[in-house]
Amino acid sequence: MKKNKVTKIGVMTSGGDSPGMNAAIRAVVRTGIYNGLEVFGIMRGYSGLIENDIIPMDSRSVANIIQRGGTILKTARSKAFTTPEGRKAAYNNLNQHGIDGLVIIGGDGSFKGAQTFSNEYDIPCIGLPGTIDKDIAGTDVTIGFDTAVNTAVEAIDKIRDTMDAHDRLFIVEVMGRDAGYIALHSGIATGAENIVIPETKTDIDELICSLTEKEKRKKLVNLIVVAEGGEYGDANALDAIIKERIPSADTRVCILGHIQRGGSPSCADRLIASHMGYYAVESLLIGRHNVMVGVVNNKIHYTPLDKAVKEKQKIGQEWMKIVKILAS
């Protein structure tokens, strides 16, 4: 742990937005002020850091935001920050404001940038896992996942009503990039007959056989939940295969898309974000630097940023066994 005392900190949101980011910002700002720190908000992630779009924040600047989705600091992905020139400009802007600690709320790409930046300029960084994908190692939960998966569940429940009315097969595509957690959780929670995720190789012949067998049993209402990043992550492409192999199937496709990122964060996401934001500032104060604040077994857990970037959460095969048994 480093011994230098942090006096001014910056907080930013980077990469994809997720419900609960505002709660995390609020926690960082108010915990920092409580401990006598000056706190600055960095607009639009690393882009704002390079362009010196940095504003002072006080307790009132984060009033009435805990219930809001999105992020009041805006977010962006920055190609310029991947260059030495971009990071140098960012460092000069931090020096101008006297900022000597950063809290980055984002995903693995954001943490990779923070790790590189800290190694080059010795700026202590703390990462908070803000992503609906839940694809970061070192934490059981990420800010935004609970809200996103509940949004998906609510939408799929409504889709089931029209499935039942028309005896249809629905293929619902959910977000998750290259992780299948939203598909897995929402699929199990809504009784999906099949769940297609990147972590498990999909046997298309077995899937077709399963649907054919269900059709013979006059089980005409079927739901397939597909994670966007899998081998068959394109719901329309999967629909085309099914129609070719089972011409009698009455199929429909629904792509939920960015609706899963928006909306007021759930109670769980507000609590998680508030908890993590508090411990991010505490970490900077005691000299615990370049870690991601996570939750493992309901306790705060710290993972080195480089490890959080290199590793991914893994989905156990027992989950897929449960899906197969419960959907039979």
pLDDT of residue 259: 94
Please answer whether residues 259 and 247 qualify as being in contact, where contact means their C-beta atoms are separated by less than 8 angstroms: no
Concerning whether 133 is annotated as a catalytic residue, the answer is yes
Q: Answer yes or no: same fold for 8-144+265-310 and 146-261.
A: yes
Can you tell me the mean pLDDT for 33-41?
Answer: 98
Task: Give the active site residue among 17, 108, 133, 239.
Answer: 133
DSSP lists the bridge partners of residue 42 as 12, 54
pTM of full prediction above 0.95 = no
Among 155, 241, 261, 144, which residue's Cα sits nearest to residue 196?
241
Domain 146-261: what homologous superfamily? Phosphofructokinase domain (3.40.50.460)
pLDDT tens per residue, range 72-121: 999 988 999 999 999 999 999 999 999 999 999 999 889 999 999 999 99
Among 144, 123, 151, which residue's Cα sits nearest to residue 10?
123
Domain boundaries defined on the chain: 8-144+265-310, 146-261
Least confident of 181-185, 207-211, 216-220, 245-249: 216-220
Tell whether domain 8-144+265-310 is in CATH 3.20.20.140. Answer: no
* Half-sphere exposure of residue 60: CA atoms within 13 angstroms, side-chain side: 0
Does 3 score more than 50 pLDDT? no
Does 312 score more than 80 pLDDT? no
